[in-house]
Amino acid sequence: MPKYLIIAGSLILLTLGLIHLLYTFFTNKFLTHNPETAENMKRDFPLITKETTMWKAWIGFNASHSLGAIFFGTINIYLAVNYFSIIQHDFFFSVFNLFTVGFYLWLSKKYWFRVPFIGILLTTFCFVLVLVLKLSNPEIEFYNTTIQSIG
């Protein structure tokens, strides 16, 4: 069950990341209703540098944000499918996953909108359930995974 919860939660994040990347480069979904805002972003630059515009930074932030969700989801799915015995016994892995999706959940509630919030809430639920199942199973002994355990 934990393996499938990790895959399910990670698949949600992977899907959200892929949609976000497609929206960033192939749709107008991230344009504003006021065309002047986008034009101002294309002319203005951040205080840190004049080497980019606010528009280029906006596109870059959206693309890198997408890649982060894609990477996180893909790595978790890959590890769950191919190396589940390692992640099943590694407490750090569960805590790190929970920290990451918890941060995404906070961001989605504070700064984004309902659809990503619900998706990330479902992912968080999956990962919390994985940790609860691990902690409630006395047969699973947590330890720090080393490179030697992989080989």
Task: Record the pTM.
Answer: 0.82
Q: Are 38 and 32 in contact (CB under 8 A)?
A: yes
Segments in the chain below pLDDT 70: 138-151
What pLDDT is stored for residue 20 in this prediction?
96
User: 3-class DSSP state for residue 144?
Assistant: coil
What pLDDT is stored for residue 145 in this prediction?
43
What pLDDT is stored for residue 139 in this prediction?
63
What pLDDT is stored for residue 133 in this prediction?
86
Report residue 96 as tokens.
């790190």
Provide the percentage of residues in the chain whose pLDDT is more than 90.
73
What pLDDT is stored for residue 137 in this prediction?
75
CA atoms within 13 A on the CB side of 38: 9
Domain residue spans of the chain: 2-150
